[in-house]
Structure 1
Amino acid sequence: MTTTDPAAPPRPRPTALRATVLRTERLTPAMVRLTLGGPGLAGFAPSPYADSYIKLVLVPGLGATASGSDVLAAWTTPDGRLDLDAARTALPPEHQPRMRTYTVRAYDDMDLTLTVDVVVHGASGVAGPWAAAAVPGDEVAVVGPGGGYSPDLTADHHLLVGDASALPAVAVALERLGASASGTAVLEVADRAEEVTLHVPDGIALRWVHTGDAAPGARLVEAVRALPWPAGRVHAFVHGEAGSVRELRRYLRVDRGLTKTDLSISGYWRLGEADEGWRAGKRAWLRGIEDAEAAVGLD
């Protein structure tokens, strides 16, 4: 059981910064690239990790931008940051701020611009419709960054696996691998129209998998299992839908013997579950996986 040390200092409250949409670009029918900037990002401290991520704070039901300037101004403290506690207190339940996590695709500390790629699914969800409708001048709150993975350049082989939700992080990882890197990237998207141009080193084999009429992640799991296993030490990054991630973790940890040190793996989302519900149950989901691994002698 995990207990909290009463003497430990309280965890700091997340700090939210005001950002302005500078540019939007439709990369594919289901992916929108947003370039955020403005003086509010002057306090942003970039993360060194390839999977660096931020949280966009959106307010459902408050207009097309989901986070209008007037609302943000009401939460702004004298130092230019956002008071999320004040927002939660002031707003009714149907307008409570929602956080959605996105990989930092790029950050330019000279221009103070932050680029994120957002998957959109028509009118469903909170962030997707906002991103699809965003125009220059819209404002949004940004919390973060976090992160924990970068490709280990001393590894013999790199395995990068993900669905559309993990595509931006895999893209950053590929850009950080040297020309001599060896490995495989397996990426699942809906169809050919959703494939994006990536910088892929010569030694990395890129394989696109299309979901088609299969369940999300099913063909991704099949494709990874069908790969010939390379010699040497494998360093892996595997993220996407929780069900497929669980299967791939079992395969990589139990069948292939990867250690936790050489494996960054997590469910970014779960089929049939809203983001808030998934985040609330994710810790128990992970504990169940770790208990199953311990039962077969893995630490």
Structure 2
Amino acid sequence: MSVTTEVEVEPFRHFDAEVLAVRPVGASLVRVTFGGAGLRDITTSGPDQRIKVFLPRAGEVVPHVPTGPDWYARYRELPEAERPVMRTYTIRHARDGEVDVDFVRHGDVGPASRWAGTAAPGDRAVLLAPDRRFPGYARGERVGADHLPPAGTAWQVVVGDETALPAISAIVESFPADTVARVFLEVPAEGDRADWALPPGVTVTWLVRGGSTTSALASAVRAAALPEGPGYAWLAGESGLVRELRRHFVSERGLDRKRVYFCGYWRRGKTEDAAYDSAED
């Protein structure tokens, strides 16, 4: 008698992807739509779903990315000259065989921004993304998605800069009708403001940086009057600012540290490469 065993499926897997379309989103972002037959297996486990995007090095057409359970160890072992560019992004939309990823354009300062500025249909990339066949997703497990207010949360604060705008957009669009939330966003230009259909209990504060090198986010959040009851904070963006705001909510606002999600994934004064080399994500 033969015994059928279930094939083990990892939460994430590598997907070969091709650029289908590129279009600007506001003043500072560009949306790249990736396609490919295999992308039908990509799913999300929450609105702020993180993925890895691997881009070709100069002179390459397709990035050569190690795969399998030990891919990261083998990736780190590659010589620098052979290692594909890897960055962390948020799935903005996932459809049948298509995935939208929004890239921040901040000039020719690093390989990811440079690629986003010249991307065109037919370009190739590799996505490390959630595989819908993973049984845990059907049970409600989350992998790489962290916006999850605990039961009984009375209000939320969502804070970020333009690098967090894709995730915050998805979070705001997922709010139930009875959500009470304060959203704070700092962006480079007036044209980066998004027009969301908001529940009545949600307010958004847009801060336009313009040419300033100083962030106004911390001051705006500190000055905000917040509701009573158990709250939840989701903080993302420049690492120094995120750490400052986390201390503010825990030490000054008295929010339980378990109710504060924070992710600082770039560092002021660092190049794109240096900022990501120092990140744990």
Range of TM-score over shorter length: 0.7 to 0.9
What corresponds to 1:269 in structure 2?
Answer: 266
Pair 1:28 & 2:15 matched: no
* Counterpart selection for 1:141 from 126, 145, 151: 126
What corresponds to 1:99 in structure 2?
Answer: 86
Describe the superposition over 1:147-178 as per-residue Cα deviations: whole angstroms up to 9, x where unpaired: 22234574211111000011111111111111
**Number of residue pairs aligned between Structure 1 and Structure 2:** 257
Quote the offset at 1:92 in angstroms. Answer: 5.8
Pair 1:227 & 2:214 matched: no
CA 200–151 in structure 1, closer or farther in 2 if over 3 Å, else same: farther
Quote the offset at 1:15 in angstroms. Answer: 3.7
What corresponds to 1:206 in structure 2?
Answer: 204
Pair 1:244 & 2:241 matched: yes
The DSSP-based 3-state class of the residue aligned with 1:230 is: coil
- TM value normalised by structure 1: 0.76
Pair 1:173 & 2:171 matched: yes
For residues 45 and 166 of structure 2, what CA distance do their matches in structure 1 show? 15
Pair 1:256 & 2:243 matched: no
Using the aligned pairs only, state the percent identity. 33
Q: Unpaired runs of 5+ in structure 1?
A: 1-11, 284-299
The DSSP-based 3-state class of the residue aligned with 1:215 is: coil
CA 112–150 in structure 1, closer or farther in 2 if over 3 Å, else same: farther
The DSSP-based 3-state class of the residue aligned with 1:105 is: strand
Aligned partners of 1:16 and 1:84 also within 8 Å? no
- TM value normalised by structure 2: 0.81
- Listed as ranges, the matches of 1:12-51 within 5 Å are 15-44=13-42, 46-51=43-48
* Counterpart selection for 1:59 from 56, 60, 79: 56
Describe the superposition over 1:194-230 as per-residue Cα deviations: whole angstroms up to 9, x where unpaired: 22233322210111011234435x2000110110121
Describe the superposition over 1:126-153 as per-residue Cα deviations: whole angstroms up to 9, x where unpaired: 1122122111221111013422223457
Aligned partners of 1:15 and 1:144 also within 8 Å? yes
Aligned amino acid, residue 208 of structure 1? W
For residues 261 and 50 of structure 2, what CA distance do their matches in structure 1 show? 14
For residues 140 and 270 of structure 1, what CA distance do their matches in structure 2 show? 25
CA 233–76 in structure 1, closer or farther in 2 if over 3 Å, else same: closer
Aligned partners of 2:38 and 2:97 also within 8 Å? no
What corresponds to 2:106 in structure 1?
Answer: 121
For residues 190 and 272 of structure 2, what CA distance do their matches in structure 1 show? 27
State the Cα RMSD in Å. Answer: 2.9
